[in-house]
Amino acid sequence: MRLTYYLLTLTGLLLTLSVSGQTKLNLRLKRELDSIEVVDQRYRLLFVGGPAMKPRLDSLVRAAGVPPEQATDYLARRMIETDSVNIKRINQIIKQYGYPGKTLVGSPTNEVALLVIQHSTRIPQYLPLIKRMADQGEVPFSLYGRMLDRHLMQQGKAQIYGTQGRSLSVLNAATGKMEQVSFIWPIEDAAHVNERRKKAGFDSTVEANALRLGITYKPMTMADAERIQQAAKAQHH
């Protein structure tokens, strides 16, 4: 009888602690962030979804009265407009609550604000905050690593974790035709990148990540990347 009493008491205590932990979450904010994530992905999924998404894309542009040949431009405009609205709201949320991390909104909702920032021009503004949140376990460190890589690439510097790729249209001198050149942006100390990736919490190698992006990984120098970018720019002049 006494054992049963202790077990029931322990069960009740665990349930109380569980409920107490859950009530710490800001559920209203969590729902709002989950909705923002849906909006953030709406047009991106149409962009990268390939043939499977074509019926949805065709339906969208027809409803908007957009000619098929202007579908890509229309989608890009809508995505930029959405990103602009989203980052303004995320900025307001951060000013009010601080970064909405795991403690405030749970996981994986703690990744939503980071996702929106990643799709904005404000990475330099928020990168130190995301680093602090990653160090505190409020967001996965690998997501900070991805944002850091994007920032470095945008600054024309070598990335650290090999998460970022580029795809540019370049004239093939041999054929006289334009072709897509895709590559993983140069990596600082590329020989040890997979060790850094594992330590940062990535679940794949740089080679596997490149294949996920549709790229066969080949180490490149900044000089290599600059030559490709200059060749791509030359086609627009």
The pTM score is 0.83
CB 141 within 8 A of CB 134: yes
Say what the pLDDT of residue 64 is.
85
Please report the pLDDT score of residue 237 as a whole number. Answer: 60
Q: How many CB atoms lie within 10 A of CB 170?
A: 18
- The sign of the CA dihedral 45, 47, 49, 53 is positive
Q: 183 φ, ψ to 5°?
A: -155, 155
Look at residue 92 in the predicted model and tell me its pLDDT.
98
The reported pLDDT for the residue numbered 198 is 98
Of 88, 159, 97, 96, the residue nearest 125 (C-alpha) = 88
Mean pLDDT, consecutive 10-residue segments, the chain of 237 residues? 46 44 82 97 81 80 85 90 97 98 98 97 97 98 98 97 94 84 97 98 97 95 95 78
Q: What is the pLDDT of residue 176?
A: 81
Structure tokens, 39: 């909006």
DSSP string, 180-223: EEEEEPPBTTGGGHHHHHHHHT-SS-HHHHHHHTT-------HH
- Cα–Cα distance measured from residue 126 to residue 174, given in angstroms and rounded to the nearest whole number: 45
156 φψ region: left (φ > 0), alpha (ψ -120 to 50), beta (else):
left
In the block, which residue shows the tokens 């994007």? 150
Tell me how crowded residue 112 is: count the other CB atoms within 10 A of its CB.
23
pLDDT score recorded for residue 13: 46
Alpha-carbon distance of 27 to 103, in angstroms, equals 11
Determine the pLDDT at residue 60: 82
Q: Please tell me the distance from the alpha carbon of residue 34 to that of residue 110, in angstroms, as a whole number.
A: 10
Of the candidates 224, 229, 232, the residue with the CA atom closest to the CA atom of residue 171: 232
Note the pLDDT of residue 65. Answer: 87
183, 150 in Cβ contact below 8 A? no
- DSSP letter (8 states) at residue 67: -
